[in-house]
Structure 1
Amino acid sequence: MSSSPPAPADTAADAAATENLLRCWIRETAVPEPADAVLKVALPASGVSVEAPVHYWSPVGWHRFGPARLAGTGTPLAAPALAALIAVETAAADPAAVADLTARVADSTRRTADFVRHRAEHPADPEGTTPFLAAEQALVTGHPLHPTPKSREGLTEAELRAYSPELRGSFALHWFAADPSVVSADSALPGRTAQGLMAELAGDDVQAPDGTVLVPAHPWQAKDIVSRPAVRELLDAGLLHDLGPAGAPWSPTSSVRTVYRADAPVMLKFSLGLRITNSRRENMRVELERGTAIDRLLSAGLGDALRAAHPGFDIVRDPAWIAVDALGTDGGPTGLDVVVRDNPFRESGTSVDGPEPIRALCAAGLVAPRPDLDPAQPGTASQLAGVITALAERTGRTVADIADEWFTRYLDTVVTPVLWLYATYGLGLEAHQQNTLVVLDDDGWPVGGRYRDNQGYYFSPTRSTALYGWVPDVGRDLGTYVDDEVIDERLAYYVGINNMLGMVGALGSQGLADERALLRRADETLAKLAAEHGDRLLLATTLRTAPTLRCKANLLTRVQGMDELTGPLEAQSVYVDLANPLAGASR
């Protein structure tokens, strides 16, 4: 009996997962471009070779492939089968690692199929969806160079529908009331405490016992933490009260754990014990403190200096936090902690930090392939392709010409301010595409950017003293003072490879531009920055001329079971040497 053919969503999801695995393998093992347009991967640990037709070979790694098959027999390989073979090749001595990667790839592929199917059946955004939220929900296939971009271990199907941005989920917050003795908080908001802000957000929907402090949680986290011994002890002692879900629905953004409402002055970033991609997303206390420290630094003068030099660029602030502490002398974390993030991305009204409704879109969401938009060409449709095509039609210019100018403006308004900030003040931003927002004008041209993330700040021991005039010794107690060589390596990956070259790869792989021409544009921008900042921005010269760049290896990081949020900064991920596609770009 023959089985029915796979549904288009299943085919698209498997194709995306297969391409991700092959891209990762090529990048992390330095596989050269094949001469005959057929990729051949020898896997001696399993005694087999895998082949896939090359549809597009990207100078920066955003390759496109047809279905993978076993060489010789032609047997089709679904993504989980390919993952198992790759895992055996990299971790044959660790059966648990092989099983883990295989299971996570299968989980990610299945969830991607669900997302593609749902979005194809429901193409229109719900009424009231802001441009910001639409972009946050657009990462249907996820990071193109990660083996398990949509793996979400531990969610039921009902929870997946409610908590997934790709499915346009929404939910009420789960509220707790805590005795003030077990609450820690900080606020850089003028005249407002974190406790007072939580009460405002709860409004009349939540009734707390007298003398207690309201603390919200993600509903998945609320269900999980009540069985943790530290939280159980607080509940049993009457120091914590579980009030249940209440209030208007909030929507998950691209990170899943940060939630948004178009009518709220803030967003909320929760702890979420799910393993999303490589890490369990639990807030650490130093990250909470880092957000308010950066907010105070911006308010003291850095924000004005940044806007004066680059008026279109800013940092999204995390001006407050609140957490419930465990009992005991150290008052450790309970998993019940909340970052308060400013929300300037509203259709009307003001944010917590002032009036600034703007059209800012997540860069990762903007470039993400959207097989739900065009199942016949699953790797070429994206929001960015729509923007550039519309500009070409409106202006009568070619798509390639528009893409070239769009990328040049992106370099000037988004990438350059990040590198300027590092050169001038020694403050490095982990500005990968998901942490980067692009501000577009009404026509779709980049006119600015925003950075958001309280985890990804690096302070330079040699240059961050330039910040001390505003806040003496800022960052010294935040765990992010590391050697310049480490910062350069991280920024070369996050800003250079992931963000800048990722934009090149998206434009090239989606048929919008010649990547070599875009690499020349990037080289011109970096050359100008190198000339302007000299030894204060050696990174610009490194990105232009180094034969290899250090690049995060998402596949090997996943196989080795590393958690990117724990451990010393220098050892949270596997890094490999990547042939630098910018070297020689000027020629």
Structure 2
Amino acid sequence: MQRPSPIETRLATELAEVRPDLVDRYTAELPGARAAVLTRLWRALAHEPLPWVARRVRGAHSLALWLADGRALHGPRADPYATDAYVTAVRLDGVAYRDPARLMTELGWPHSAGFAAELGHSVASLALSRADRELPTEEAEEWPDRDWEWEQRVVDGHPFHPNCRSRPGFSAAEQLAYGPEHRQAVRLEAVPAATGDCLLTGDWPAELRDGKDLLIPVHPWQHSHVLKGGSAGPWRDAHPLVSLRTLALDGQTHVKTALSARLTSSVRDISAYSVGAAVTLSSFATDLAARTDGLLHITRTLGAVTAGSPDLAALLRESPQAYAAPGEYVLPVAALAATTLPESPSWLAAFTRLALTVGLRLLDLGVALEAHGQNLLVVLSGTGAPLRLVYRDLADIRLSPARLRRHGITPPDLTGRLVTDDGTTLRRKLFGSLVAGALAGTAGSGPALATALEAAVRHLPATPDLTALREGPLPTKALTLMRLSPEVPGDQWTSLPNPLAALR
């Protein structure tokens, strides 16, 4: 039996204090959590351009990695689009490793110690999330009416990132209190800041004003660990969403808070650049979405503010629920895997066609969405048919002024990282998030993804972007390489085998 890691043991000790009823279930979930994270890590070792891997030898059912230092790794053949935990052990020079953190420690690559700690947190937190998930009942088959209840169904986090559930800096009590999958309301706090010291775009509601001060919503974890207390008062209860730092205030408004913790890859604070661009970007994207014949809606940013620090900032925006008619449901694509839907290839093909129609249309116009399973939502009919899409969080899209002007569209008055005319960058943004992310995570395997793509692309308008999708390798972020090379700024990328090639 696998000996628990120090991180796993520490979380178990904390759990015994706050939720002793979960300790046995947590312990029972650890092997599956290790396999889930190890599967994600093995995908990265198999497909990312890691400089410490000299050669890969793929067999019919196995994969061998020859390392630059002469050692060898052996494991199963890696399907880059599989979401089930099929890797239970990897052998390094004949020694089996079932714990991804221990494997990364033994590999001993630059920065592997820090990454191994993140993998350990990912395993422990994933086991806790699974231990506290709602057990299936007849009532659980009822689709929820409130937006945050859909988000609570996403238990495993990112379908392909080894840090899928990594929450370093969060105790067991804090994870149980703040993680959406644990189904608790969070009492947000409000920190006063002099209006003259703030950058504000859009409207800021009266309830978040106090004389000459603006009141900035703050996550309680942020207030305790980053802002270190200080002047603040309780504001409102809210329900955490998939991103953990964005919360539903009611059926109409969501608040995105600064959370200066490293979740998956990034520290989740809010930059002054994002605040300054938020409302301009929202207005432009909302107008552009009208060119999709009603297939896409953008949640409008209502207001954004920062008090001179990425650690003290917030953004208010519409709830996606505003775009669901009576009898319809709107849910993040990440929640589809945990939702009972019509079980047929035609459903997946219809959803894939809808997503690609919208994504490629906007890309041709000059906007590349980061349409992963958290940002992209789908509106379903009462019978589960995919009707249209909703997109939220514009902070990481890319705009091409040249493409926009080619279509007679005046680009918004924005500069900086959001703006690029580089075709490779634009396609990477969309294809990496939508196809290698949201669609692959929904399909669950390479063969299922290939079948859905083949059925969808034959109906799409011919564009250079569609040709690139059909004929080239599929880009995706090299998430493990990025964690092992923190000195390299920005995203790093790799290419996955094009799933359509298997059908030719």
TM-score in same-fold range (> 0.5) = yes
Q: 1:51–1:71: 8 Å Cα contact kept in structure 2? A: no
Q: Which residue of 1 aligns with 2:279?
A: 292
The one-letter amino acid of 2:234's match is: P
Q: What root-mean-square deviation, in Å, do the aligned CA atoms of Structure 1 and Structure 2 show?
A: 3.4
The one-letter amino acid of 2:312's match is: L
1:363-382: CA deviation from partner (whole Å, max 9, x where unpaired): 12222xxxxxxxxxxxxxx3
Q: Which residue of 2 aligns with 1:251?
A: 239
Is 1:387 the counterpart of 2:341 in the alignment? yes
Instruction: Give the superposition deviation at 1:551.
Output: 2.6
Is 1:491 the counterpart of 2:491 in the alignment? no
Say which one has the larger Rg.
1
Q: 1:323–1:337: 8 Å Cα contact kept in structure 2? A: yes
**What does 1:346-385 correspond to in 2, within 5 Å?**
358-367=328-337, 382-383=338-339
**What does 1:235-314 correspond to in 2, within 5 Å?**
242-247=231-236, 249-263=237-251, 265-298=252-285, 301-306=287-292, 309=293, 311-314=294-297
Q: TM-score under structure 1 normalisation? A: 0.73
Q: Which residue of 2 aligns with 1:324?
A: 307
Q: Which residue of 1 aligns with 2:9?
A: none
SS state at 1:154 partner? coil
Partners of 1:445 and 1:32 lie apart in 2 by 42
Is 1:116 the counterpart of 2:146 in the alignment? no
Instruction: Give the superposition deviation at 1:152.
Output: 1.2
Candidates 386, 411, 419, aligned match of 1:481: 419
Candidates 100, 122, 130, aligned match of 2:114: 100
Instruction: Give the superposition deviation at 1:523.
Output: 3.7
Candidates 503, 520, 524, aligned match of 2:454: 520
Partners of 1:257 and 1:103 lie apart in 2 by 22
Is 1:146 the counterpart of 2:86 in the alignment? no
Instruction: Give the superposition deviation at 1:243.
Output: 2.9
Unaligned runs of 5+ in 1: 188-192, 200-207, 236-241, 326-332, 346-350, 368-381, 389-398, 531-536, 564-570
Q: Which residue of 2 aligns with 1:553?
A: 478
Q: Which residue of 2 aligns with 1:22?
A: 42
Partners of 2:326 and 2:297 lie apart in 1 by 12
Q: Which residue of 1 aligns with 2:490?
A: 572
Instruction: Give the superposition deviation at 1:138.
Output: 2.5
Q: TM-score under structure 2 normalisation? A: 0.84
Going from structure 1 to structure 2, the CA distance change for 1:31 and 1:451 (only over 3 Å counts) comes to farther
Going from structure 1 to structure 2, the CA distance change for 1:289 and 1:72 (only over 3 Å counts) comes to closer
Q: 1:493–1:551: 8 Å Cα contact kept in structure 2? A: yes
Partners of 1:354 and 1:128 lie apart in 2 by 14
The one-letter amino acid of 1:160's match is: Q
SS state at 1:476 partner? coil
Partners of 2:40 and 2:282 lie apart in 1 by 37
Going from structure 1 to structure 2, the CA distance change for 1:359 and 1:291 (only over 3 Å counts) comes to farther
Partners of 2:432 and 2:438 lie apart in 1 by 8
SS state at 1:144 partner? coil
Instruction: Give the superposition deviation at 1:61.
Output: 5.2
Aligned residues between the structures = 477
Partners of 1:315 and 1:561 lie apart in 2 by 33
Is 1:542 the counterpart of 2:452 in the alignment? no
SS state at 1:102 partner? helix
Partners of 2:224 and 2:85 lie apart in 1 by 41
What is the aligned-residue identity percentage? 23
Q: 1:43–1:85: 8 Å Cα contact kept in structure 2? A: no
Is 1:219 the counterpart of 2:220 in the alignment? yes
Partners of 1:323 and 1:555 lie apart in 2 by 31
Instruction: Give the superposition deviation at 1:355.
Output: 8.3
SS state at 2:305 partner? strand
Q: Which residue of 2 aligns with 1:170?
A: 185
Partners of 1:128 and 1:415 lie apart in 2 by 26
The one-letter amino acid of 2:341's match is: V
Instruction: Give the superposition deviation at 1:66.
Output: 4.1
Is 1:9 the counterpart of 2:29 in the alignment? yes
Q: Which residue of 1 aligns with 2:52?
A: none
The one-letter amino acid of 1:185's match is: L
Candidates 193, 206, 215, aligned match of 1:196: 206
The one-letter amino acid of 1:196's match is: A
The one-letter amino acid of 2:45's match is: W
Candidates 353, 356, 369, aligned match of 1:429: 369
**What does 1:25-64 correspond to in 2, within 5 Å?**
25-28=45-48, 31=56, 33-35=58-60, 37-43=61-67, 45=69, 47-52=71-76, 58=79, 60=81, 62=83
Unaligned runs of 5+ in 2: 5-23, 50-54
1:487-520: CA deviation from partner (whole Å, max 9, x where unpaired): 123223223322334433x1x47xxx74543342
Q: 1:545–1:584: 8 Å Cα contact kept in structure 2? A: no
Q: 2:328–2:382: 8 Å Cα contact kept in structure 1? A: no
